[in-house]
Structure 1
Amino acid sequence: MVDQLRMFLDRVAAAVPPPDLVNEITKLAAEFNARLQSHEVAEYNQVAGQLIDLPGRAQLLTPAYTVEELDDQRAAGHVRFGRHHLGNNGAVHGGAIPLLFDDLLGRLALVGGRPKSRTAYLHIDYRSITPIDEDLQFEAWFEREEGRKRVLRGAIRHNERVCAEAHGLFVALRPGQP
């Protein structure tokens, strides 16, 4: 379902449908929303964002990325931004890149039994155009850990070219902290 919804978002972004199709799709979307409404659960019971075996953890907001290597110090894999993430001229929207890094670095900050954390800051350096509809490689790694502070870095590459780099600070939550 998540894959189909991502594809739908890409198709919506790429289309200029005639008014009758807009009306038909709007009615279908309203029907789907009504059918799903009775299945809503509390945040801690939802599956979206929790299915780590699915690209982007089945979170529609996050670009669909797949982790291929993961240990308590490093993660690596690939991502492909679709048309839904288009900024302009075939390039990924600049706001989608920090979203990917925030999710990816935040995920790595939890590995190895570490307690949950929050993003304190995330700095992105845009090195070159990040293209849509291309297979991109990413890596993320721990730089250091000091008490509750976790400093992580990451990079996105298109072949050998670095598209963006990230530097983030994640702070472990105190017991009972939301």
Structure 2
Amino acid sequence: MRDESSSPEPSSEPSHDHAWPDRGRLSADVAVPYGEMIDLLRGFLDKVSGARPDPATLADLTHDLKAWSERLQACAVEERDQLFARLLDQPGRGQTMSPALVVEKQEVGDFRGHVTFGRYFLGVNGAVHGGTLPLMFDEVLGRAAGQPGLRLRTAYLKTDFRALTPLDTRLEVRGWLDRQEGRKYFVRGELRHGDVVCADAEGLFVALKPDQR
């Protein structure tokens, strides 16, 4: 994300090609089992957040996680070939960095879905950590602004917190395109718990030029 003080312009990235998404990757044979693994990982992180393990349990978990990390290291690939956060047909795009956003409707200029924040995203006193919401809105607003063949970068994103966001509760989320000015897409969004607006956001996304990555 960039500061809004001057006319935002997306910068070029390193020379390696990591254009996203790669449509050929969306129907990969491993997409569904990978999504199932990520779902279990989300549950594990929720349990880690809510647990106070004894020393023996910690030692066992540390040993097991080290072994799994070494096994995954042998499967390492380049950025453009990774599955994490690249599976558009999986909740949350198959990642654990932000909550699993479930898409209900996605059309050009209009995105609707729902999300449930688990224990991993706890701030304090049963409320979601505030820093999680801008991350979620970056996804929602980006999807609302996007359309086939269009590659966007976040230039500006502002989130207003209106009410406490509860854990373990289905929340409705929406994003919509407010207006477009050339390569600039101005987008808005909101997160609701019933009639209560937990947070809303506004953002500016800039379409990349053909020679930009």
The TM-score with structure 2 as length reference comes to 0.81
Task: Return the letter of the residue paired with 1:55.
Answer: P
SS in 1 for 2:153: strand
Q: Tell me what 1:95 maps to.
A: 131
Q: Tell me what 1:85 maps to.
A: 121
- From 169, 176, 180, the counterpart of 1:145: 180
Q: Where in structure 1 are there 5+ consecutive unaligned residues?
A: none
Greater relative contact order structure (CA < 8 Å, 6+ sep): 2
Matched residue pairs, number?
A: 177
- CA apart distance, 1:109: 2.2
Q: Where in structure 2 are there 5+ consecutive unaligned residues?
A: 1-36
2: CA distance, partners of 1:174 / 1:151: 17
1:80-128, Cα deviation, whole Å (9 max, x unpaired) = 00100000000000000000000121122222x2521111110001000
Mapping 1:13-52, distance limit 5 Å: 13-52=49-88
SS in 1 for 2:137: helix
The TM-score with structure 1 as length reference comes to 0.96
Asked if the contact 1:149–1:171 (Cα under 8 Å) also holds between the matched residues in 2, the reply is yes
- CA apart distance, 1:19: 0.7
Asked if the contact 1:62–1:103 (Cα under 8 Å) also holds between the matched residues in 2, the reply is no
- CA apart distance, 1:40: 1.1
Is residue 171 of structure 2 the alignment partner of residue 171 of structure 1? no
Q: Tell me what 2:3 maps to.
A: none
Larger strand percent: 1
1: CA distance, partners of 2:85 / 2:145: 16
- From 142, 150, 153, the counterpart of 1:115: 150
SS in 1 for 2:68: helix
Is residue 16 of structure 2 the alignment partner of residue 6 of structure 1? no
